[in-house]
Structure 1
Amino acid sequence: MRDWFRRRYLDLLGSIYIYNEHRGYTSIDRVLQAVRARDSGNHALIAAIEKHRADERKHYMMFKRWFELQGRKPLYVDRTCGHIDRFVEIMFRRTIDDLDTRAVIADDALFEKLCRVISLTEQRGYRQVEILLRHPAVRTDKALVRIFEVIEKDEPSHWAPYDGWLRANGRREPKWWERRIDDFIHSELLFLKLPALFLNPWLRRRTDWADEHDAAALPAEALPAGA
């Protein structure tokens, strides 16, 4: 019974992470679109965000390989388990898919808000990985430990470009209430959604891989070079 609980927990953990990594790099494509339009000459910023995108894609592929080696696909989880999804929905009152990228480009206040949301999300991810690397169930899976060690190493560079843009443009840091929203989203997932999914006997698996639909899901102007 204990082994079943451990396998179920890791299965669900990997499924939530692979969803968030995929949502991460596909959302960054939209951020890159905005930054290239706003600051086309800021090559350092663009390069830093491109690295962020590449890392998120790399993390997605590591989790994908982890599932492939088990001969199965992830459990089906949706945007209700996405940290950035929930943060954008609360802050912008619309889903990521419905977010008007052109409006964000045109409005300094909206772009500033987006930078804070991304920065807080990435910092939350880093703290969570530190916790997971000490988790007894995670420590039993050497491949999963290596994945989280890579993420831990990559993560600090992910919020740096957004914090840097805020400082360079005289914009404020996140306020206490924005941090409380971040705490709420994390607690909601940890104490409500994760247990509900864990105990759901009807939770099905995906029948495909999320990245199979990447090109079709992105607007042409948001596609990375070579896509």
Structure 2
Amino acid sequence: MLRWFRSRYLDVLGSIYIYNEHRGYTALDRVLDAVRRRSPDDAHLIGLIARHRADERKHYVMFKRWFERRGTMPMKLDRTFGHIDRFIEIMFRRTIDRLDTQAVVDRDDLFERLCRVISLTEQRGYRQVEILLGNAMVRSDSTLTRIFEVIHRDEPSHWAPYEGWLRDHGRRPTRWWERAIDGFVHSELLFLKLPFLFLNPWIARREDWADAGETQPADLMPAAFPG
């Protein structure tokens, strides 16, 4: 029973993470393209966002290989289980897929809002990984532990581009209500959606990988997987 509980917990955890990592780098593709169009000479900001995107892709590949080693596919999840999805929906009143990223990046007031959403999401992710690294069930899987150690090392650089833009443009600090929304989204996922996945035996598995058919830049090689 304990073995089943542990396996199920890690299965649910991995499925949520692989969905969010894929959602992260594909959404950042749009942000990166929009920033390049708006500020083609801002090589520093473009480089930082590109690094963030590359890390999200790397994390996705690590989870993908973890599932491959387990001999199973992730659960078939949608935006209901995405932290950034829910945060964007609340802050912009539309889904990521319906968000006009170029229009958001082109307006300082909207880009400021987007920077806060991304920064808060990444900081939340960092704190959550710290908790998971102390979780006995996570620690029992040496490969998964190494994946989270890589994520923990990478995360601080992920909110830097957005905090830097806010600082350099004299934008206000994050307010309590923005942090409250971030906390609500996290609590909703942790206390409602994760248990629903754990207890629902009818959740389908993906039949293909989320990145099937995608073409990746040459520098995003899967060799970074901690094996």
Q: Same fold (TM over 0.5)?
A: yes
Separation (CA, whole Å) in 2 of partners of 1:214 and 1:126:
27
Q: Structure 1 residue 102: deviation in Å?
A: 2.6
Q: Which runs of 5+ in 1 are unaligned?
A: 216-222
User: In structure 2, what is the equivalent of residue 20 of structure 1?
Assistant: 20
Q: Which residue in 1 is equivalent to 2:192?
A: 192
TM normalised by structure 1 equals 0.93
- 1:160 aligned residue: 160
Deviations 1:114-158 (A, max 9, x none): 000000000000000000000010010000000000000000000
Partner of 2:105: 105
Match of 1:87 in 2: 87
Count matched residues: 220
Q: Normalising by structure 2, report the TM-score.
A: 0.93
Q: Is residue 42 of structure 2 the alignment partner of residue 33 of structure 1?
A: no
Q: Which amino acid aligns with 1:39?
A: S
Residue ranges of structure 2 left out of the alignment (5+ in a row): 221-227
**Does the aligned pair in 1 maintain the 2:31–2:102 contact within 8 Å?**
no
Quote the Cα distance in structure 2 between the aligned partners of 1:128 and 1:194. 14
Residues 66 and 143 in structure 1, CA contact (< 8 A), matched pair in contact too: yes
Distance 1:206 1:132 in 2: 25
Query: d(CA) in 1 for partners of 2:217 and 2:120?
Result: 24
Percent of paired sites with the same residue: 70
1:212 alignment partner, SS class: coil
Aligned-residue offset at 1:105 = 2.7
Report if the CA contact (8 A) 1:21-1:59 is conserved.
yes
1:148 maps to: 148
CA distance in 2, matches of 1:187, 1:175: 19
Q: Secondary structure at the match of 1:170?
A: coil
| Superposed counterparts of 1:50-89, under 5 Å | 50-89=50-89
SS at match of 1:202: coil
Contact persistence 1:37–1:105 (CA under 8 A): no
Could you list the structure 1 runs, at least 4 aligned residues long, displaced by more than 2 angstroms after superposition.
223-227
Tell me, yes or no, if the aligned pair for 1:29 and 1:224 is still in contact at 8 Å: no
* RMSD (Å), alpha carbons: 1.6
Amino acid at match of 1:173: P
**What amino acid maps onto 2:108 in structure 1?**
D
2:10 is aligned to 10
Task: For 2:132, give the aligned amino acid.
Answer: L
Aligned to 2:201: 201
CA contact (8 A) 1:86 1:185 kept: yes
Change (3 A) 1:54 1:98: same
Note the C-alpha offset of 1:72.
1.1
Assess, with a 3 A threshold, how the Cα gap between structure 1 residues 35 and 21 changes in structure 2: closer, same or farther.
same
